[in-house]
Structure 1
Amino acid sequence: MRVLFHGAAGAVTGSMHLVEAGGKRVLLDCGLCQGSAEMEASNADPFPFDIATIDALVISHAHIDHIGRVPLLVKRGFRGPIFAQQATAELMPIMLLDSASLAESDAERFNRRRAHGEPERQPLYTKDDVADAMAQVRPLAYDTRDTILDGIDIAFRDAGHILGSSIVELWADGKKLVFSGDLGPTGTPILRDPTAIQQADLVLMESTYGDRNHRDRAETIVELGRILDEAWRDGGNVLIPAFAVGRSQELLYWFAKYWDEWQMSRWQVFLDSPMAGKVVQVYGRHHDLFDEDAKAVWRDAPNPFKLPNLHVTAGADESMAINRIQRGAIIIAGSGMANGGRILHHLRQNIGRREAHVVFVGYQGVGTIGRRLVDGAKWIRIHGRDYRVNASMHTVGGLSAHADQRGLLDWFGHFDPKPQLALVHGEDKAREALAGEIGERDGIEVVLVRPGMSLDA
């Protein structure tokens, strides 16, 4: 068994790893590169392998940095099966149709403004390409070992990151590969804890937060309540860039749980994302994947997805109408890194107002507007215009959907004996710190893979 690394190898986005085993080739994830303009332009580059030789694609979860190039792969000739956990299979068309819509809009905007003689830009893929890709998806349940190709079995285990997120176990050639996908922290609301795996020959593990530990979640929730109280006193709005899958649903969960304590009824809460609204419906169909605490909240508090002051906006007119509200609005909108989507329009209207507050609740990739704001930028460019940053910025790291260093160490600690370990899905600073901790504790050499590298199990 050999693994070739093509994406999220020294970076956090663009997950893509190719497994060669049993005379077959299986691709793990096919994600979009996100961040700087250069990184995003690279999504249109040719794939670093012969697409015709790929026998199957296995998806870890539905975040766009893990599935965002799937329609492009199909558009360019991939005809094999695409395996995904059942909830992931339901989330994929929602995420990919939104991605296609953004690509089409960006291309249209560029073409309207392009200089004379400059070639037209084509979208990476279209909604029709998404439909073609989804026709190849084969849903699988958690905790079942399935033969996907002659000589190759896989099983999905709960990764606790977002609904349907999976750790992938793959057996072939008498060897076992474990791909962590993205691991969630233990004790996160709604979802169950990541599944402990004990045996493997080779592990590919994410390392997004390999160099730090999150703030205690209970302290984080207290902080979030304080921010909302402060924002109410300041008389402005609260903007929360949030991924449509995971963080948006968790925020609504906390608003329901602390409905009385945080005086949530005084706010208008806007989930300004048609995609997030559809995702909420998928979550609502999968209570069987919730943890016991979440089931209790659904019984004892206002339904988080049906709060009496919750407005799920669909059309652009409804979204634009929010910007007439000067105070008392909590606006949850994508994208989570503020590198596109409706949150940019709300930032344009609010970021220059000292009474406004912006709350970041997830990882902000290098080169994104979110990262520049988190790093203290005084001016920010949105849609070709510069805006002074006067709003208050808050980073609430304890709501991360990723395991921190302690969580990653705990998860890998279950393997006995210790297998080969390759760190993926992390910037070098995070990977180096995590590799050092594991090397010191377990006495193994940890590989920091790069695009183009390969490892044999």
Structure 2
Amino acid sequence: MIEINHHGATTGVTGSCHELTLGSGTDKSGILIDCGLFQGQEEGRDGSASDLAIGFPIGHIKALVVTHVHIDHVGRIPYLLAAGFDGPIYCSQPSAIMLPEILEDALKIGFTRDRRLIEKFLDLIRSRLVPLPYNQWQRVFSDHSSLDIRLQSAGHILGSAYIECDAVSDGVGERIVFSGDLGASHSPLLRDVVSPERADRLVIESTYGDKNHEDREGRRFRLKSILKHALADGGTVLIPAFSIGRTQELLYELEGLIHQFGSQPVAPELPWRDLEVVVDSPLAADFTRIYRDLKPFWDNEALSLVAKGRHPLSFEQLTVIDSHQDHLNAVEYLARSHRPCVVLAGSGMCAGGRVVNYLKALLGDTRNDVLFVGYQAAGTPGRDILSYGPKGGWVELDGERYTIQAGVHQVGGYSAHAGQSDLVRFVSGIDVLPREIRLVHGDTSAKQALRKCFQSLGSTDIIIPEH
């Protein structure tokens, strides 16, 4: 018997956690693919401790496989260990470097500020990590059943992977693929996704199953146009940015615009080469440094820029704010100044982090603009700003209402997630269509739209799990 069960990301886009189980009864063995945090108000969650608890049996779980290190895919790992999981944690080589960093930040927010306890936990995590190169099979277990896994580049963030599983139980073998989060085509820094050669069953994300992104040149042109329009009156462009992936891609694109249009004006009396770009997020700054250290995993385009002496993630117009006092000073200065500036601040969905202080100070001024470049989950302030900002509405931040006078924009092409056409391309690129496709990690409308697309490819059984 080979079973797939889902413990998150079935009625929303967060909390990814999937279980592959082989055998039955006392002969049962399995793995988890991701163990992520629920965010916003998805899946009927209210942010209580019960959302974090591991509410399913784990005695038969032999290993955890991490597709990538975003918090909605790894945030419940501390709770998994607390529940008694003592197996290895398989992931790509870049993810093995980044996972302790992201969990350290999560521990500071949700667990403890005690440095000794944090270091003890991080040492435990590091001792469990088994970094795997892409495209290499790894035996996970071989007892009553056997399971081998292989990681392939997913193009979502640096180190992201989709997981191929060769499972054999009771003499029956299957190739089961878990997509994790797939990346959009032609993303900066990242290599494009290649479809698996085979998948008898496929579990695939559907975040943007109902829409396509702008192409690379289109979104770059839109980014340039929005910045010129927004900065014309001397305001701040605030970009709520996810620390891993989105921030680095945006810096890459901004460096490209500054390099290409250097002497041309981005605002009155301000050439592109003098535009200040601020990263105000210690975590984003840490991961930008890690991205720089992981150049061997960059795509050929990015490596060619480095060979020409360019520095896509550390250009001279870039300022990184570290200390909390410097952050407060920057918020105050930008709120009263008329100096055009671009600020990237975490968190990406405006549910916490330094971006909240910027929003409180800047939302009420028409000179300022908020630019969203990623998915905003239901129940987050980011979704509310995106929904109500163009209507002159308000958003609640830390229990207070703030009127939205600032401009609100969205450039969907910079989402780290694959668009509908990318998802269809991923599936249609498999030599023989999977006999079963399970749609997870998406809103209902996205799943329904993607289901119709997949149905048009053939007679595959398409399942939308409800739990």
**TM-score, with length taken from structure 2:** 0.89
1:118 equivalent in structure 2: none
- Tell me the distance in 1 between the aligned counterparts of 2:371 and 2:50: 29
Which runs of 5 or more structure 1 residues have no equivalent in the other structure?
109-124, 452-457
Q: Is contact 1:238-1:329 (8 Å) kept? A: yes
Counterparts in 2 of 1:145-184, with a 5 A limit? 145-150=137-142, 151-173=146-168, 174-184=173-183
SS of 1:305 mapped into structure 2 = coil
Report the residue type matching 2:459 in the other structure: G
2:445 equivalent in structure 1: 429
Q: Is contact 2:251-2:313 (8 Å) kept? A: yes
Which runs of 5 or more structure 2 residues have no equivalent in the other structure?
none
Verify: 1:443 aligned to 2:459, yes or no: yes
2:202 equivalent in structure 1: 203
Alpha-carbon shift at residue 365 of structure 1 (Å)? 0.4
Q: Is contact 1:72-1:129 (8 Å) kept? A: no
Alpha-carbon shift at residue 130 of structure 1 (Å)? 4.4
Deviations 1:121-165 (A, max 9, x none): xxxx96654443333111111111111222211110000000000
| Identity over aligned pairs, percent | 36
Q: Is contact 1:256-1:301 (8 Å) kept? A: no
Q: Is contact 2:136-2:151 (8 Å) kept? A: yes
Counterparts in 2 of 1:376-455, with a 5 A limit? 376-377=388-389, 378-419=393-434, 420-451=436-467
Counterparts in 2 of 1:288-299, with a 5 A limit? 288-299=296-307
- Tell me the distance in 2 between the aligned counterparts of 1:183 and 1:43: 29
Alpha-carbon shift at residue 186 of structure 1 (Å)? 1.5
Alpha-carbon shift at residue 42 of structure 1 (Å)? 5.8
1:114 equivalent in structure 2: none
2:136 equivalent in structure 1: 144
- Tell me the distance in 2 between the aligned counterparts of 1:305 and 1:199: 37
1:236 equivalent in structure 2: 235
Alpha-carbon shift at residue 373 of structure 1 (Å)? 0.7
Q: 1:414 to 1:103 in 2, by over 3 A?
A: same
1:98 equivalent in structure 2: 105
SS of 1:40 mapped into structure 2 = coil
Alpha-carbon shift at residue 102 of structure 1 (Å)? 2.3
2:36 equivalent in structure 1: 31
- Which stretch of structure 1 is more off in the superposition, 345-354 or 306-315? 306-315
Q: Is contact 2:37-2:52 (8 Å) kept? A: no
- Tell me the distance in 1 between the aligned counterparts of 2:330 and 2:190: 31
Counterparts in 2 of 1:11-410, with a 5 A limit? 11-21=12-22, 23-36=28-41, 38-41=45-48, 44-104=51-111, 128-150=120-142, 151-173=146-168, 174-260=173-259, 261=261, 263-300=271-308, 302-323=310-331, 324-325=333-334, 326=337, 327-377=339-389, 378-410=393-425
2:7 equivalent in structure 1: 6
Q: Is contact 1:189-1:250 (8 Å) kept? A: yes
Q: Is contact 1:269-1:310 (8 Å) kept? A: yes
- Tell me the distance in 2 between the aligned counterparts of 1:381 and 1:68: 25
- Which stretch of structure 1 is more off in the superposition, 400-409 or 229-238? 229-238
Q: Is contact 1:266-1:328 (8 Å) kept? A: no
Alpha-carbon shift at residue 41 of structure 1 (Å)? 2.4
Report the residue type matching 2:319 in the other structure: H
SS of 1:430 mapped into structure 2 = helix
- Tell me the distance in 2 between the aligned counterparts of 1:39 and 1:450: 18
Q: Is contact 2:388-2:394 (8 Å) kept? A: no
- Tell me the distance in 2 between the aligned counterparts of 1:162 and 1:425: 16
Alpha-carbon shift at residue 233 of structure 1 (Å)? 1.1
Alpha-carbon shift at residue 287 of structure 1 (Å)? 1.6
- Tell me the distance in 1 between the aligned counterparts of 2:127 and 2:321: 29
Q: Is contact 1:71-1:132 (8 Å) kept? A: no
- Tell me the distance in 2 between the aligned counterparts of 1:74 and 1:436: 39
1:113 equivalent in structure 2: none
Q: 1:405 to 1:389 in 2, by over 3 A?
A: same
- Tell me the distance in 2 between the aligned counterparts of 1:285 and 1:171: 33
Q: Is contact 1:8-1:16 (8 Å) kept? A: yes
RMSD over aligned CA atoms reads 1.9
- Tell me the distance in 2 between the aligned counterparts of 1:296 and 1:385: 48
